[in-house]
Structure 1
Amino acid sequence: MNPDASAGDALYHTVLSPRHLMVMFWCSMLMLFDGYDLVIYGSILPHLMQEWKLSPVTAGFIGSSALFGMMIGALVLGTSADRFGRRRLILVCLVTFGLAALVNGVSTNTTEFTLCRFFTGFGLGGLIPNIVALMNEMAPRNRRNLMVTGMLGFFSVGGVIAAFAGKALTPEFGWRASFFIAGIPLICFPAFFRWLPESISFLVAQKRYPEADALLKKYAPDFMGKASSLVVSSESSDGSGGRFSAMQLFSRNQLTGTLLLWTAFGMCMLMLYGLNTWLPKLMAANGYSMGSSLTFLLTLNVGGVLGGLFSGWLADRCGGKLTLMLFFLVGAASIALLGYRQSPLVLNVLLTAAGATTTGTLSICYSFAAQIYKAEIRTTGVGWAAAAGRFGAMAGPALGGYLLSQNLSANVSFLVFAVPGVIAAIAVLLISTPRERAERAVPALAPRAE
């Protein structure tokens, strides 16, 4: 390997090893906690509404509070990692959402409950862009999409556990038991502190070369150079670039892509969090029993697990852009069809497809965003896209509450949740990827070369 390479090259061209898989494992566990903490609200919501006599609008507002916290967390903590480091911020986020979720279990009124949900979301909002950036920067290039989307697919594993906990534990032990389980990340903190590595790209940018050299020996043993010979970007990488990285998202070359990416994130999160919050109630309104409706939430998240894995495999072969558009359109169609009474087989196929495509598209969105932006603004770009997407995420639970309060038919409610998939597919179609920009630049330079 050429020793005069970028920090990304040192890892992207190395061979997949057990050490890379361990990074994926720890990041996947964090995503599992993320999925559990967010989906658990939807699984206990019918019981909470009955016990506290909540209206659909109030329940939707409480659901949106966690997603508002995620937006603030993504802006504050998600973008700070370009200055303070991925690992440090990930650990801060873990403690924040773990404590908040645990305290949720002893809340006695809607105000306390809502505040705990906000701080749970705050920690989770800062977590996701940091682990996405860390995974992108530590994964071999030919496995990057698969590893990132596979990791993000563990959101649905957490969702499956949350749906199962809501169905199995809540009738016997009450809804609080599910939140006590959400405190498990605090027990795992020592393991993350011991084994989660820092990003090599960040260490090089901070000129912490001895630490970077030690990690290069572990994660890129075939790299023959020294960390001091690596660069992160065309900048001097003195650590000050993070101060201006947010403004670079709105530069002439990035503005259109940034806004379109935000649209895709927002529409995707509206579908994902709206369904995970209100699917049991929407299915009950469509004539199904509450027990069956909670099972549908479980099926939705099982589909999410499959979609997270399959989307990465497909994106590595067909490209993230094409895969995103396909998943958005399939997701829109499957969600729209959920509003009509179906046979059990067709219904479960639609639920699996809806879960696979909504979770799968979010997984690819994060990976796609990380590949659009340069290294010096990557975490900031992903963090701001995730934060902008939270507007859609907040709208999802609130929209579901409004639809239920209006007593609309199930087919109309599901159709409303399907429309964002079409909007997102159009937004992705209009985004220019780095490869597309490079291909357009070659013909433009050809006359000068002549």
Structure 2
Amino acid sequence: MSIGNHDYVVGETRVNAFHLLILFWCSMLMTFDGYDLVIYGSVLPTLMNEWKLSPVIAGIIGSSALFGMMIGALTLGSSSDRFGRRRVILVCLIIFGIAALANGFSQTSTEFIVCRVFTGIGLGGMVPNIVALMAEMAPNSKRNIMITVMLCFFSVGGVIAAFTGKVVTPAFGWRANFVIAGLPLLAVPLLYRWLPESITYLLANAKFEEADRVLRIIAPSLRRSAASLAPLNAQANGNPSKLRTAQLFTEGRGRNTILIWIGFGMCMLMVYGLTTWLPKLMVANGYSLGSSLSFLLTLNAGAVLGGLASGWLADRFGGKNTLVLYFTVAAISISALGFKQNEYVLSALLMLAGATTIGTLCLVHAFAAIAYPAHIRSTGVGWAAAIGRFGAVAGPAVGGYLFAQNLPINVNFLFFAAPGIIAAIAFILTSGKTEEPKSTSATVASAD
């Protein structure tokens, strides 16, 4: 495209303050997500003792948020393609904020489970939408890194949850942690004022005045009005009136959709299975409990570094190549954890395992966002995340079953490593159609 004869499209702009503002708000939302999901584990020992919960009930409560996330991803996660990103994000924030706050006032395990389900619904609906919004607003050259940076804040929220669980619970009781979880509700007015709506949604719904305001900020060199770009945007995004879920399988997308679902499921199986059972497995392998808990921290430290690196690598070498590399390294490093290692090798393996499992979860969301056009983007990411939750539920459950069989420890680790190979093969088989940043909805077509 000649700069002298054409205006820049949104996706070809350089990162400016407006992009960073969007990144800030979306990262803050991911921090809430990480806090709300991890806080249960932080208060679980106290809660089990106070309410005399059986391990079975405690496990059901733990799974209830994941179940809710599946519902939220399938409903609210895909609804913004019709109702707008910002509106659905705010609704999700209100849902999980109220539900998390209500957890602090629960009197029975049943009430607690209901609140956790609604917390999961809000979180499950929010994540696909902030991923889709970030994908649509980020410049093409920085899209992967901006999405993965945002998603890395899930781990930041988890660290905050661990800290408050350790400091707040002894001083104020476990309920205070959920009062903190309700604080995101205070951000609703700020997000309503500052979080922008998707350009593609605004054009598709003839909201040209608002679209013009956003375009002038995000692409100052654009000289055409939003109204003149609407026909080009409609042509690029196809027919939005068709059933959006069905469009995940039309126009040659069906194969990639199934393969992306497999990749999501395998990734979440490794993430939730490994983080749940790593301390137990390491103790069974001869390490002390204190060391095993430190190993979990090392795993999550690697996740942050791996998530950040994955975006940088994907922007340079492609998301597909980076995912195949990460899943292969994950399989190798997790397999090696099943054998006794010296301190330095073990730490390196844990860092690699965290980087290429939890860290990869950031990149698979970015990959799915880029794989679909704007009018079905949140639908595509929402369905992939929902299907992936089957892997999230299966990981801890099957891992517990294998552990109960008293199998050799290396066999347990091999179980968590195998999904990495399956996921790598799945992404190898995806077509190149997922690597088309200029045709994704994050851009608005330009003309002479």
Q: Same fold (TM over 0.5)?
A: yes
Which whole-Å CA distance do the structure 2 matches of 1:305 and 1:253 have between them?
A: 34
Distance in 2 of aligned mates of 1:109 and 1:287: 38
Cα drift, residue 294 of structure 1: 3.6
| Segment drifting more, 42-51 vs 427-436 | 42-51
- The aligned residue for residue 181 of structure 1 is 180
Q: Which residue of 2 aligns with 1:196?
A: 195
Q: CA deviation at 1:359?
A: 2.4
Query: Take 2:180 and 2:291, find their aligned partners in 1: how far apart are those partners?
Result: 23
Question: Contact 1:372–1:433 (CA<8 Å) still a contact in 2?
Answer: no
Q: What amino acid sits opposite 2:387 in the alignment?
A: A
* Cα distance in structure 2, aligned partners of 1:408 and 1:109: 37
Q: How big is the shift at 1:335?
A: 2.4
1:365 equivalent in structure 2: 364
Matched letter for residue 346 of structure 2: L
- Is 1:425 the equivalent of 2:424? yes
Q: 1:370/1:409 Cα in 2 relative to 1: closer, same or farther (>3 Å)?
A: same
Please tell me whether the aligned partners of residues 299 and 348 of structure 1 are also in contact (alpha carbons under 8 angstroms). yes
Shift >6 Å, 4+ stretches: 2-5, 237-240, 435-438
Matches within 5 A, 1:358-397: 358-397=357-396
Aligned partner of 1:329 in structure 2 is: 328
Which residue does 1:91 correspond to in 2? Answer: 90
Mapped to 2, the partners of 1:335 and 1:55 lie a distance apart of: 31
CA contact (8 A) 2:237 2:375 kept: no
Does residue 286 of structure 2 align to residue 271 of structure 1? no
Shift in Å, 1:380: 1.3
Map 1:427-446 → 2, pairs under 5 A = 427-434=426-433
- Higher mean displacement: 293-302 or 365-374: 293-302
Could you tell which deviates more after superposition, 297-306 or 123-132? 297-306
CA deviation after TM superposition for structure 1 residue 255, in Å: 1.1
Which deviates further from its counterpart, 67-76 or 414-423? 414-423
Give the aligned partner of residue 397 of structure 2: 398
With normalisation by structure 2, the TM-score equals 0.88
Report the CA distance between 1:233 and its aligned residue.
Answer: 6.5
Q: Does the residue aligned with 1:97 lie in a helix, a strand or coil?
A: helix
TM-score, length-scaled by structure 1: 0.88
- Establish whether residue 214 from structure 1 lines up as the match of residue 213 from structure 2: yes
Q: What displacement does 1:366 show?
A: 1.2
Q: Deviations over 1:155-203 (max 9, x none)?
A: 1111222233344444565544433332221222222222111111110
1:78 aligns to what? 77
Q: Distance in 1 between matches of 2:355 and 2:127?
A: 19
2:141 corresponds to which residue? 142
**3-state secondary structure, aligned to 2:243:** helix
- Structure 2 vs 1, CA of residues 265 and 87 (structure 1 numbering), >3 Å: closer, same or farther? same
- Figure out how many residues of one structure are paired with residues of the other and give that number: 435
Counterpart amino acid of 1:145?
N
1:104 maps to 103
Q: Is the 8 A contact 1:41 1:277 kept in 2?
A: no
| Deviations 1:35-90, CA, capped at 9 Å, x for gaps | 12222333444554555555555444332221111111011001110111000111
**Corresponding residue number in structure 1 for 2:27:** 28
**1:284 CA drift (Å):** 4.3
Give the direction of change, closer, same or farther, for the CA distance of 1:76–1:351 in structure 2 (3 Å limit).
same
Which deviates further from its counterpart, 200-209 or 340-349? 340-349
Q: Could you tell me how far apart the structure 2 residues matched to 1:285 and 1:272 are?
A: 20
1:230 counterpart SS class: helix
Percentage identity across paired residues of the two chains: 62
Report the Cα offset of residue 302 of structure 1. 1.9
Query: Residues of 2 paired with 1:346 and 1:175: CA distance?
Result: 37
Distance, in Å, in 1 between the alignment partners of 2:358 and 2:73 is: 19
Could you say if the C-alpha distance between residues 39 and 336 of structure 1 is closer, same or farther in structure 2, counting changes exceeding 3 Å?
farther
Structure 2 Cα separation of the partners of residues 4 and 244 of structure 1: 34
Q: Deviations over 1:262-316 (max 9, x none)?
A: 0001111111222334434444444545444443333222222111111100111
Q: Is the 8 A contact 1:205 1:237 kept in 2?
A: no
Cα RMSD after superposing both structures: 2.8
Matched with 1:227 is 226
- Stretch moving more, 384-393 or 173-182: 173-182
Aligned partner of 2:343 in structure 1 is: 344
Structure 1 residues 239 and 172, CA, compared in 2 at 3 Å: closer, same or farther? Answer: farther
What letter is aligned with 1:152?
L
Tell me what 2:296 maps to.
Answer: 297
Q: Per-residue deviation at 1:407? A: 4.7
CA distance in 2: counterparts of 1:166 and 1:27, whole angstroms: 24
Structure 1 stretch displaced more, 363-372 or 293-302: 293-302
Runs (5+) with no aligned partner, structure 2:
438-448
1:155 is aligned to 154
Q: Which moved more, 1:391-400 or 1:26-35?
A: 391-400
After TM superposition, list the pairs within 5 Å mapping 1:119-134 onto structure 2.
119-134=118-133
CA distances 1:197-237 after superposition (whole Å, capped 9, x unpaired): 11111101111001000111111101111111224877469
Q: Distance in 2 between matches of 1:408 and 1:142?
A: 47
Q: Is the 8 A contact 2:367 2:434 kept in 1?
A: no
> 2:410 aligns to what?
411
Tell me which residue corresponds to 2:446.
Answer: none
Q: Larger deviation: 209-218 or 231-240?
A: 231-240
CA distance in 2, matches of 1:389, 1:17: 34
CA distance in 1, matches of 2:47, 2:242: 44
Aligned pair in 2 of structure 1 residues 335, 106: CA closer, same or farther (>3 Å)?
Answer: farther
Shift of 1:141: 1.2
Letter in 2 for 1:424: A
Which amino acid in 2 is paired with 1:34? D
8 Å CA contact 1:82–1:242 kept in 2: the answer is no
Following the alignment from structure 1 to structure 2, what is the Cα–Cα distance between the partners of residues 92 and 436? 31
Asked if structure 1 preserves the Cα contact closer than 8 Å seen for 2:237 and 2:373, the reply is: no
Contact 1:130 1:379 in 2 (8 A): yes
Deviations 1:358-386 (A, max 9, x none): 12211111111121112222221111111
